[in-house]
Amino acid sequence: MILLIIVASVLLASISIIQFKNEAKEYHQERLERKENAVKEHINYVLATTTYPLKANNLDLIFKDKIHELAQIHNTEINIYSLDGKLLKSSKESFAVDAVAPPIPDYILKLVRSSIEKRFVDIKTRDGVKNRSSYSLIKDEKFKPLGILNLPYVEDDSYYDSELNTFLIRLGQVYSFMLLVAFGLAYFLSTYITKSLKTISDKLSETNLNQKNEMIVLEASSKEINFLIKSYNAMVEKLEKSAIKLAQSEREEAWREMAKQVAHEIKNPLTPMRLTVQSFQRKFNPNDPDVRQKMNDYSETLIQQIDTMTAVASAFSNFASMPAQQNETLNVVEVVELSLDIFNEDYVVFESEETEIISKMDRTQLIRIITNLVKNATQAIPEEQEDKKVLVTVKRQVNSVEIAVKDNGIGIKKEDIERVFEPKFTTKTSGMGLGLGIIRNIIENYKGTITFETSYGSGTTFTVSLPITNS
C-alpha cells in the first residue's frame, strides 16, 4: 500500500508538471497570435486611411507617427522591416534603437516567404527565459507584400509557476497524510496477522535436532496458520524419529571412519617395510665390509615403521583419535633424509640448504607426512615415463621450516583440484583416499600449512610449512 501511494504521488506530480507546462505553452502561443491579429487589423486600417501611396518605400512615412500609437494601444513592441529584412520603424524609444539595427536573418526571411501563412515564430531562450518573436508579411488591399511585421514577446510563466507550486504543496500534504494513515493501517494489520506467526517463529527458532522439541498448542483465527501449526507438529514428530535414526547412523559411520583410518594408518608403514625387506634381500652381501652399518640402517627403518603401527594400534584400542603428539627435539633435515631411505627409486632426490634445522615435534608424524607425500609423488609418475624425478627439499624460513615434494608426473586435473584434501577422494585405482586428509590434520595440529601447485601433464609440488618451536 505504501509503495502504491508513493508511486501514485510521483506519477500525479509528474503529470501535473507536464500539464501545467503544456497549458502555459498553449496560452503563450494563443496570446501571441491574438496580439498579432489585432495589430495587423490595426495596421490594415492605417494602410487603408493613409494619404501616402501604398508602396514598400513609403512604410517608414506611413508609420512614422502611428507606430507609437499602435504600440501603446496594444501594449507591445512593434517593429516594421522591409522585404529584404532591414529595420524601417520601431516602437522603441530613439535612444534604445541601435544606430544600425540588425537585419532579419536570411533563414527567417526564407521561412516567412515559403510558409503557407506567410508567418514564422522564432523561439529563443535567454537567461532561462523563453522569448518568442513572430514575423509576418504586411500586405496592401491587393495582397501585395509591402514589408514584414515583427512582434517580440517575452513569456511570463510566473502565474503558472505560482499555481504549480501551490498545487504541488497541497498534493504533498494530502499524500503525506495518506502515507501516515497507510503506515498506521499496515502496522495494525501486520500485527494482527503475524500475532500467531510470532509464536510459530519462536518455536521454529528453538527447534534443534539434538533436543526434544515441544509441539505448538495454539488455535489461530486463520485457517492457513492452523494448517501451518499442524504441519509443524507433524514435522516435530518426524524429527524425533529421524534424530534416533541419525544418532544410530552417526555411531555406525564413526566406527566405519575409524576403521578406515586405522586400516590406512597401518597400511601406510607396511609398504615401506615391504620395500625395505625386498631391498635387503636384493642387496644383502655378507662379505660387504659395511654390512653391519647397513643392517643397523635397515633395522632402524623397520623399527620406526613398527613404532608407527604400534602407536596406531594403541590409539585404536583405547578408543581415542590418531596417535597423540609425542614431541621431541630433533633435526628435521636428518629425519626427512632418513625417511627417504626406504624408497629404492634412483629418481628420488633430496636437497637441503642446511645440514641442521632443530625443532620440537613428533618424529613418527613427521615421517608419516614425508613418506605419504613421496609415495603419492612416485605413484603420480606413469610407469612408461622415461624421465622420472621426485625432488624433496628442506629449507629454513623466518619462523618455520619448509618441506617441498616436487614430481614431474601427470599432475592434477582442474576439476579435481578442489577435492584433493577431501576424505575418500582418490584418483588411484587402489587406496581409500584418506592419506592427504590425515596428514593435513597432523600439519594443522602443529599450526602449519600444506599447499600445492600443479600443472596437468607437467607435475605437482606439495609444500609443507611447519613452525619451528624450540621449547
Residue 452, pLDDT above cutoff 60: yes
Considering only CA atoms, which of 395, 335, 338 is closest in space to residue 360? 335
pLDDT, mean of residues 386-404: 92
Amino acid identity, residue 189?
L
What pLDDT is attached to residue 320?
Answer: 43
Residue 429, pLDDT above cutoff 80: no
Residue 404, pLDDT above cutoff 90: yes
Considering only CA atoms, which of 178, 161, 164 is closest in space to residue 7? 178
Considering only CA atoms, which of 303, 368, 361, 306 is closest in space to residue 339? 368
Question: Cβ of 150: how many Cβ atoms within 10 Å?
Answer: 20
What pLDDT is attached to residue 206?
Answer: 72
Grade residue 464 by pLDDT with cuts at 50, 70 and 90. very high
Q: Compute the mean pLDDT over every residue in the chain, rounded to the nearest whole number.
A: 80
Query: Residue 279 in 3-state DSSP?
Result: helix
Give me the sign of the Cα torsion angle 394, 397, 400, 406.
negative
- Residues in Cβ contact with 129 at an 8 Å cutoff, skipping those fewer than 6 apart: 154, 155
419 or 138, higher pLDDT: 138
The span from the CA of 167 to the CA of 313, in Å, is 90
Grade residue 423 by pLDDT with cuts at 50, 70 and 90. low
pTM of the model: 0.38
Half-sphere exposure of 30 (CA within 13 A, CB side): 6
251 or 359, higher pLDDT: 359
Residue 95, pLDDT above cutoff 60: no
Residue 466, pLDDT above cutoff 70: yes
- Digit-coded pLDDT (tens) for 195-228: 777 777 777 777 766 666 777 776 666 677 777 8
Grade residue 430 by pLDDT with cuts at 50, 70 and 90. very low
- Digit-coded pLDDT (tens) for 171-180: 888 888 888 8
448 or 243, higher pLDDT: 448
- State percent of the chain over pLDDT 70: 86
Q: Name all domains of the chain by residue range, CATH numbers in brackets.
A: 2-161 (3.30.450.20), 237-322 (1.10.287), 325-471 (3.30.565.10)
Our measurement of the distance from residue 455's CA atom to the centroid of its chain's CA atoms, rounded to an integer in Å, reads 30
What pLDDT is attached to residue 390?
Answer: 94
Our measurement of the distance from residue 266's CA atom to the centroid of its chain's CA atoms, rounded to an integer in Å, reads 49
Grade residue 460 by pLDDT with cuts at 50, 70 and 90. very high
The span from the CA of 319 to the CA of 301, in Å, is 28
Residue 191, pLDDT above cutoff 60: yes
Grade residue 106 by pLDDT with cuts at 50, 70 and 90. confident
Grade residue 303 by pLDDT with cuts at 50, 70 and 90. confident
What pLDDT is attached to residue 117?
Answer: 83
Residues 355, 438 contacting (CB under 8 angstroms): no
Which of 180-184, 224-228, 248-252 is predicted least confidently?
248-252
- Digit-coded pLDDT (tens) for 48-86: 888 888 888 888 888 887 888 888 888 888 888 888 888
